[in-house]
Chain A
Amino acid sequence: ETGVTQSPTHLIKTRGQQVTLRCSSQSGHNTVSWYQQALGQGPQFIFQYYREEENGRGNFPPRFSGLQFPNYSSELNVNALELDDSALYLCASSSPGTGRYNEQFFGPGTRLTVL
Chain B
Amino acid sequence: AQSVTQPDIHITVSEGASLELRCNYSYGATPYLFWYVQSPGQGLQLLLKYFSGDTLVQGIKGFEAEFKRSQSSFNLRKPSVHWSDAAEYFCAVGATGAQKLVFGQGTRLTINP
Contact = CB atoms under 8 A, between A and B. Distances in A.
A binds B: yes
Interface of A: 31, 33, 35, 40-45, 48, 50, 55-56, 58, 90, 92, 94, 96, 99-109, 111
Nearest to B32: A101
A44 B51 CA distance: 21
- Considering the complex of A and B, which 5 residue pairs feature the smallest CB-CB distances, nearest first? A42-B103, A108-B43, A101-B32, A106-B44, A45-B100
8 contacts: A35-B101, A40-B106, A45-B102, A56-B99, A90-B43, A90-B44, A92-B101, A96-B99
B98 A56 contact: yes
Nearest to A90: B43
B105 A42 contact: yes
Interface of B: 4, 32, 36, 41-46, 49, 51, 90, 92, 94-96, 98-106
A109 B43 contact: yes
Nearest to A45: B100
A100 B102 contact: no
Given A42-B90, A42-B105, A94 B43 contact: no
A103 B99 CA distance: 9
Nearest to A9: B41
B45 to A, nearest CB: 8
Given A101-B51, A104-B101, A42 B106 contact: yes
Contacts of A103: 46, 49
B42 A108 contact: yes
B99 A94 contact: yes
Contacts of B32: 101
B90 A31 contact: no
B1 to A, nearest CB: 11
A107 B42 CA distance: 9
B105 to A, nearest CB: 5
